Amino acid sequence: MTLFSRSLHFPDVIRILAPILSIFLVVGCSGESEDGGFAGLAEPQQIDTDVPFLQPAPDDRLNFPEDFGPHPQHRIEWWYLTANLENQAGEPLGLQWTQFRQALTPRSANATPPAPAQWPLQAAWMAHGALSWRGQYHFAERLARADVGHAGATAQPFEVWLDDWRLTSTGESGRWRLQVSADNWSYDLFLRLNGPPVAHGDRGFSAKSASGEGSMYFSLVDIAIAGKVTIDGETQKVRGKGWFDREWSSQLLKTGQQGWDWFALHLDSGDKLMAFRLREDGGAFVSGTWITKERETVALSSDDLTLTPEAETEATPTHWRLQVPRYGVDLEIAAPPGEYRNEGQYPYWESPVSVSGSHSGEGYMELTGYEAE
């Protein structure tokens, strides 16, 4: 595609997006290296600007509705929805939508963006859409330059878009609409948000290593979804539940951390569970959040939570065991048969999962840093 195409696949954006995904999608996320700064990126003083990148810290707090919008003084962020749906015949259908922002230079929240006519290159955007049904997996990726109208986000009114892929407020309180269209599939969904955002970690600061580096992270864990999905010209009505994540940082993974295993689970008891581990030399950093059906939240550490693949020999482990003894949780988590690897610029696994054991349920799993079989 040319430099002026609607979905931009040009060398400058690829150059910018390489550090995005090496941070949170790829094997070998470099850390505080000798020549690259934390996560392989420059430290704030190396940026030619009077505005530094901000890095989340444990004393930071969430602020709504502003935190649904962009954080231009942070280096990386994403908006992320997964959904476990059914069609009218009761057949399961899984869905993912994610939009990422990567900044080259920081900009204060109240700063005036550069004029589009200047063709600025201060940040880049990337969106992923995926759909799974009957063992078939559909995936699409889009890229865009920031500040020229092709992609962006606002908090009020809430909107995140890249070309015609859009997650927007409908104007009704607690109601959103998600529209994504690819070559042979699309979805048009209406979301009803039930309950306030859930803050992970220390009131929103989510540590990503024992030494304390981390991100700001919150979720909407109870979303009722209804709408339509079209695959190869066949349109189906669907409904089900969703999970929405917001996360931002200027530093993330460290040297020696090889990848990320993440789970968001809807249990039939009404409880919810988020858990992740960052694989690193000599072990893993594990964290999570237990959310009761009354919406009380409890931060979980490695003392509370174990998360292990059932078969360490699998190239991509698709069966897991998750235990939280404090709450009588002993779960077996399994992806359905099939290949659920997002084959974009940097491949990673993204699949629905079923839950059995002490609790039944369903959810989603994301695995990064594993080689394809």
Confirm whether 340 is domain-assigned. Answer: yes
Does the structure show a pLDDT above 70 at 31? no
| pLDDT of amino acid 30 | 31
Sign of CA pseudo-dihedral 48, 51, 53, 55: positive
Examine the pLDDT at 163 and tell me if it is beyond 60. Answer: yes
Give ∠ CA 290-197-346 in degrees, rounded to 5.
Answer: 80
User: What's residue 123's pLDDT?
Assistant: 87
Instruction: Please give the structure tokens belonging to residue 19.
Output: 């550090």
CA-closest candidate to residue 197, choices 253, 252, 155: 155
Higher-confidence position of 108 and 60: 60
Mean pLDDT, residues 120-145 = 92
Confidence of residue 314 (pLDDT cuts 50, 70, 90): low
Across residues 277-300, what is the average pLDDT? 94
Query: 15: pLDDT confidence band, cut at 50, 70 and 90?
Result: very low
- Label residue 315 by pLDDT band (50, 70, 90): confident
Comparing 10 with 89, the larger pLDDT belongs to 89
Whichever domain contains 141, its CATH number is 2.40.370.10
- What's the average model confidence in pLDDT over 330-342? 95
Asked, for residue 73, whether it belongs to a domain, the answer is yes
> Does the pLDDT value for residue 29 go beyond 90?
no
Task: Supply the mean pLDDT for the chain.
Answer: 85
Tell whether 285 is covered by a domain.
yes
In a 3-state reduction of DSSP, which class is residue 117? helix
Total domain count, the chain: 1
191 pLDDT exceeds 90? yes
CA distances 224 to 23, 118, 184, 228, 240, Å, are: 31, 42, 25, 14, 6
Q: What is the pLDDT of residue 207?
A: 93
How confident is the model over 84-93, as pLDDT tens digits?
999 999 999 9
Q: Identify residue 182 by its one-letter amino acid code.
A: A
Query: Token pair for residue 267?
Result: 């249990």
List, for residues 167-177, the tens digit of each pLDDT value.
999 999 999 99
d(CA 132, CA 136): 6
Q: For 241-254, what is the mean pLDDT?
A: 88
Per-residue pLDDT band at 312 (split at 50, 70, 90) = low
pLDDT over 70 at 146, yes or no: yes
Q: Does residue 102 belong to any structural domain of this protein?
A: yes
First-to-last CA distance in the chain?
31
Q: Is the pLDDT of residue 27 over 80?
A: no
- Name the pTM for this structure: 0.87
Query: How far is Cα 288 from Cα 266, in angstroms, rounded to an integer?
Result: 14
Q: Is the pLDDT of residue 12 over 60?
A: no
Q: State yes or no: pLDDT of 50 exceeds 60.
A: yes
Distance CA(307)–CA(313), nearest Å, equals 16
Q: Which helix (H) or strand (E) holds 24?
A: helix 11-24
* pLDDT above 50: residue 317: yes
Percent of the chain with pLDDT over 90: 69
**Within-domain flag for 66:** yes
Is 99 inside a domain boundary? yes
| Average confidence (pLDDT) over 183-200 | 97
pLDDT above 60: residue 225: yes
Q: Is the confidence at residue 97, as pLDDT, over 80?
A: yes
Q: pLDDT value at position 113?
A: 80
Classify residue 164: in a domain, yes or no: yes
Per the structure, the complete domain to which residue 329 belongs is given by 11-42+55-107+121-367
Give the model's pLDDT for residue 11: 39
What does the pLDDT read at residue 192?
98
User: Is 169 inside any structural domain?
Assistant: yes
Sign of the dihedral defined by the CA atoms of residues 206, 208, 210, 213, in that order: negative
